[in-house]
Amino acid sequence: MDATINSVLAELLTVSLLNVEKREVLHAFLLRQRLSARMQQNGASSSNGSDGGGGDAERQSPSRSPLLPAATTRVRRFIQERRTLPLPKVMVVFSATGDAEKVSDAMADDDSRKPASPVAAAAAAATTVANVCRGKPSRCPLDARQEQEFPEVISLNVGGSHFTTRLSTLRRYDDTMLAAMFSGRHHIPRDADGRFFIDRDGTYFGDILNFLREGELPQHERVRAVHREAQYYSIAPLLERLEDMQPLTGEKVRQAFLDLLPYYKDNLERIVEIAKLRATQRKARLAKLKVCVYKEEMPITPYERPLFNALRPERAEGEAKLFEHHCDVDVSFGPWEAVADVYDLLHCIVGDLARRGIAAEQQCIGVCDKHLVSHYYCKRPIYEFKITWW
C-alpha cells in the first residue's frame, strides 16, 4: 500500500503544474487510500483484540481508536462536509542547460488562497513560458534554440528562379550573406515545394553561384549587374575581381575625373529640371538649353595666350575682377585641372543622362563673346543640349 501511495505522490507532483482538476482528483484519491489503510489496520487490531480480550474491543469504536491520528479525523471531516482539501503549492524551475532542478514546496490553507480554474492556470502558464522565452533564452525549450539543419544538396527559389547547389558552395566564404543565411542561426522560409526562398531577383544569381563554385566571372555585358548582386550578398572576393574588369575599371577612372567637379551632380539635375519645365510649359516633345563647358578660366583663345600672359602682371586688382563673370547660359561646367578636356566632360554628361533614360544631343553653337576689358572677350564655348522626352 505504501508503494501505491508513493507512486500516486510522484504522479501528483508531475501533473500539479499541468491540470488543476486532475491534481484535485489525485489528491482526494490519495487521502482516501490513506484513510482506507488506517481503517484496515484498525480493523485488524480490533479482530485480534476480540479474540484475546472479549467485549472491551467491541465497545471501542474505530473512529475513536488511538491508532488513528488526529489528522485522519480532520480529513474525514473534510470529506463529509465536501470541502476542498488544502493543496500543496509546488513551484518547479526547469533549466535547459542541464542545471540542477530547484523545487520548493509550500503548504497553505484554503482560506488564504483559492485554487485557480483550469482556464486561468493554462493562460498563466502560457504567459510565463512566453515571457521566459523572450527574456531568457537559456530557459526556453531546447527545440527553440537548436540550429536549423540543412541537407547537403540545397534547392533554392530566388525570386521565382530555381537553383540547386551544394551546401558547401553557399558556405564557401564565411563573411558573406549566403554563408550567414545557411549557417543554421537564421530561419529561412520555404516555398510550397520545399525550396528555400530568397526574396531577390534571380536573373544574375546563376553568375553568383558560378563564381562560388569555381571562380568563374560573368561576361562583359553582365559585369555591372553582377556587381550589384555581389554587393547585396556581400561577396568581397567577387567584388574585387569585378572592379578590375571593364567597364568598372573605366568607371573608377571616370569618377576620379568627375571628383574634380564637385558640382557635377547638381548641375546634371539642373539640366533635367530645366528641360522638363520647358517641355511642359511649351507642350513640346523637345527642350533646348544652353550649357557652357570650359576647362580654363582664361577668357582668351590659345593664340592670344602669350600676349595675355605678358599683360597679366600689369593688370590692377580691379581689372582682374572684370575677367570673372557668368556667361548667359542655363548651366556652366568648369574650370578643372586635368588632362581630360571639354569633349570628355560632354561625353560624361550625355552618358549619365542616357543611364537615366533621357535622350540628349549636344552641339557647339559658338562662344560667349562677352566683352571683358580692352580688346579681350570671353571665349568660353557654348553648347546647345537638345533633350527628347518622347
Q: What is the pLDDT of residue 102?
A: 41
Query: Strand, helix or coil at 293?
Result: strand
Q: What is the pLDDT of residue 337?
A: 87
Cα dihedral across residues 261, 263, 266, 267: positive or negative: negative
Whole-Å CA distances, 327 to 24, 136, 294, 382, 387: 97, 70, 11, 9, 21
Beta strand pairing call for 331-333 and 286-293? parallel
Q: What is the pLDDT of residue 141?
A: 42
pTM (predicted TM-score): 0.51
Give buried/exposed letters for 248-263 (b at 16+ CB in 10 A, else e): eeeeeebeebbeebee
Q: What is the pLDDT of residue 151?
A: 93
Query: Strand, helix or coil at 193?
Result: coil
Q: What is the pLDDT of residue 103?
A: 39
Taking only the tens place, the pLDDT of each residue in 254-298 is 999 999 998 999 999 999 999 999 999 999 999 999 999 998 765
Regions of the chain short of the pLDDT cut 50:
15-18, 52-69, 71, 85, 88-90, 92-116, 118-119, 122-123, 125-126, 128-145, 299, 303, 311-315
Q: Determine how many CB atoms are found less than 10 A away from the CB of residue 138.
A: 10
The Cα 294–Cα 62 span in angstroms is 122
Q: What is the pLDDT of residue 62?
A: 43
Taking only the tens place, the pLDDT of each residue in 155-202 is 999 999 999 999 999 999 999 999 999 999 999 999 999 999 999 999
Whole-Å CA distances, 155 to 76, 113, 191, 215, 216: 69, 57, 10, 21, 21
Q: What is the pLDDT of residue 378?
A: 83
